[in-house]
Amino acid sequence: MRDVLVLGSTGNTGGRVLRQLRDRGVPTRAATRRPTRPGQVRFDWADRATHAEALDGVGAVYLVAPIGVAEPRPLVEPFLAAAPDARVVLLSSSPVDDTTPGLGELHGLVQRQPGWAVLRPSWFMQNFTGEHLVGQTARDGAIVTATGDARVGFVDATDIAAVAVRALTDAEPHNTEHVLTGPSALSYAEAAAIVAERLGRPVTHRAVTSAELAARHIAAGIPAEFAAVLAAMDDAIREGSEDRVTDTVERVTGRPARDFRTFANEEIR
């Protein structure tokens, strides 16, 4: 099998995709701005000179769009044009479809490839850990969102990666979109209660307006245009867009998706 190029190789899903591919014995190439280890290749979205070398000999690509870029098409389109024969699996998002400006425009680009899949995961369980604002505010005792009491089918990044690996390596390309959720939908208040139980201290959900949330994102260093996109996603959640559960993880991988309580008990510290 030809190499699989993994973009976002140090991220929530990219790192897991890389590990799962290597566990299967699949030859991989980890894209990074600063390669320091065998198996890594220099890649920078802003430097097209790095694209050809990263793609040389590649048979499939795990594509994570440029982070924090509201209009990624001008960067991604020439990159894909340099890989006309590669199967491409795009990490998108549950609320994004072909008509959505920005990230949604990449769906059509990927569908031009000879094999493709678009992953549309709901919100990551891993947002409750690490440096994500949800995780930071959870550790401070109050998760802050603009979602009200609406529910979300939070999904584990390991399950997203497992679906991606199948889409990258199955004999037949999937040539479809996969909407990915966990096995149940929870409100942030319900999730906060599970986190509080795990931590042994109070954690609540504090609802704010989308304007307040955007301001918080900007204060945390997120560009204003992208902060507005993130706040609008919370608006959509409040209106019920993520209150759904799919069986895609189990159907594609053959095993059930991890539930939020199991995730919390195993990963939240």
How many angstroms separate the CA atoms of 54 and 60, rounded? Answer: 12
Are the C-beta atoms of 253 and 115 separated by less than 8 Å? no
Residue 117 lies in a domain: yes
Residue 140 lies in a domain: no
The predicted-structure confidence for 170-200, as pLDDT tens digits, reads as follows 999 999 999 999 999 999 999 999 999 999 9
Residue 267 lies in a domain: no
The predicted-structure confidence for 111-158, as pLDDT tens digits, reads as follows 999 999 999 999 999 999 988 888 888 888 999 999 999 999 999 999
How many angstroms separate the CA atoms of 58 and 83, rounded? Answer: 8
Residue 46 lies in a domain: yes
pLDDT higher than threshold 80 for residue 68: no
Predicted TM-score of the model (pTM): 0.93
CA nearest to 79, candidates 62, 100, 98, 97: 62
Considering the chain, what percentage of its residues have pLDDT values greater than 90?
A: 87
The confidence score (pLDDT) of residue 230 equals 87
How many angstroms separate the CA atoms of 263 and 198, rounded? Answer: 10
- Residue 28 forms beta bridges with which residues? 4
The confidence score (pLDDT) of residue 220 equals 86
- Domain containing 9 equals 3-122+155-180+244-255
Please name the residue ranges forming H helices in the chain: 14-23, 49-55, 73-81, 105-110, 133-139, 157-169, 188-199, 210-219, 224-238, 248-253, 260-267
CATH code (residue 88):
3.40.50.720
pLDDT higher than threshold 80 for residue 41: yes
The confidence score (pLDDT) of residue 69 equals 86
Residue 51 lies in a domain: yes
How many angstroms separate the CA atoms of 163 and 178, rounded? Answer: 9
Residue 112 lies in a domain: yes
Reported as a pLDDT band with limits 50, 70 and 90, residue 168 is very high
Domain count along the chain: 1
Residue 206 lies in a domain: no
Residue 208 lies in a domain: no
The predicted-structure confidence for 211-261, as pLDDT tens digits, reads as follows 999 998 899 888 898 899 889 989 999 999 999 999 999 999 999 999 999
